[in-house]
Amino acid sequence: MSTLPVIAAVDGSEGSLRALDWAAEAARARTATLRVVHVRQYVAWAQPGAPVVVPPPPEEDPVLAEVRARLADRSGPPVTEYVGIDGAPGAALPELAADAQLLVLGSRGRGGFTALLLGSNGMTAARDAECPVVIVPRPDRTVEDAGPVEPGPRVVVGLNADGPDDATLDFAFTEAALRGARLQVIAAYPWPAQSWTAPGEFLPEAVDQAAVEAETRALVDGFLAPHRERHPDVEADQTLLPGDAAGHLVAASRGAELVVVGRHRRRLLAPTRLLGSVTHAVLLHAVCPIAVVPPQPPQE
């Protein structure tokens, strides 16, 4: 288990306090230090003649004082650190995450608009941080027509059979093991299949959906085998579904403890980091906490 801390980003909002509670439990389960960080956004300049606002020192930070009071009477992680820094959260949090095993944020802080489902700081951190980022959503999110929920703790992970990432699967198996939870592996395959032909050409033979599903299942079995071997106590179930991967993951988030998704690798013609459309949709709509895992570095 990593000795790096779990970081909880707080700003005094209800969303950040929910993230704090989640991060405290995660740090306790990992026997890791909980590092509570308040990135304070003070204006670095003022109009001529206007009073200059001087930020308080960390020990007098009212947001961190509220957190201390919240954690004082509960059984938490072995060590809790409190850090107050000045700057822009969207830039500071990914930098801090370079020395963390997990970064946890609320879905929207004090600076968010009511209509937004995910604040810009959460989206930026999920896209840029070097460690996994967990976004704890507001409790008023709902999922319609999700179907019945099986009892017992459950972690959900999305698996792209065309290009799975071991870091995402490893995080999901580890998280399920820590929670004593069942792991639900969701792999979506494209259906209905699209066939395009030039005028005058013959249409190819119809694609058999059962064959596509069987081929996908065989691929998924192969990807999961080494992770099942490393985590023999984790019950990992496969759910193969046709069509929209994001929709299936959002539906599965109802009643789950965590949904785990991966982040796109950098590409030659798109060197900046990308979340990917499925991850973006899950961040916006899942009703349980969402973990976004950066891709495993390429082997040299």
- Determine how β-strand 290-293 pairs with β-strand 133-136: antiparallel
Which range of 76-90, 136-150, 169-183, 207-221 scores highest in mean pLDDT? It is 169-183
- Give me the pLDDT at residue 197, please: 52
Chain-centre distance for alpha carbon 282: 9
Give CATH for domain 6-44+54-136: 3.40.50.620
- pLDDT band of residue 160 (cuts 50, 70, 90) is confident
Greater model confidence, 215 or 201: 215
CATH class name, domain 154-196+206-293: alpha beta
- Give me the pLDDT at residue 49, please: 54
- Give me the pLDDT at residue 269, please: 42
- Give me the pLDDT at residue 153, please: 95
Q: What is the pLDDT of residues 102-126, one digit of tens each?
A: 999 997 644 443 333 345 777 888 8
Greater model confidence, 197 or 257: 257
The answer to whether 136 and 150 are in contact (CB under 8 A) is no
Q: What pTM did the predictor assign? A: 0.84
Among 128, 130, 127, 132, smallest CA distance to 275 is for 127
Could you check whether 6-44+54-136 and 154-196+206-293 share the same CATH topology? yes
Phi/psi zone of residue 255: left (φ > 0), alpha (ψ -120 to 50 degrees), beta?
Answer: left
Q: What is the pLDDT of residues 38-90, one digit of tens each?
A: 998 765 544 555 554 455 666 678 999 999 999 987 777 778 999 998 888 88
Return the residue matching tokens 């959900």.
156
Greater model confidence, 88 or 35: 35
**Average per-residue pLDDT for the chain:** 82
Going from the C-alpha of 10 to that of each of 86, 93, 208, the distances in angstroms are: 13, 11, 51
Domain edges within the chain: 6-44+54-136, 154-196+206-293
Instruction: Give the whole-number percent of the chain exceeding pLDDT 70.
Output: 77
- Using a 10 angstrom Cβ sphere, with 0-12 exposed, 13-18 middle and 19 or more buried, the burial of residue 263 is buried
Q: Look at residue 138 and tell me whether its pLDDT is greater than 80.
A: yes
Q: What is the pLDDT of residues 235-261, one digit of tens each?
A: 999 998 888 889 999 999 999 999 999
Going from the C-alpha of 234 to that of each of 48, 223, 279, the distances in angstroms are: 63, 15, 24
Stretch 220-244: mean pLDDT, rounded? 92
- Give me the pLDDT at residue 207, please: 62
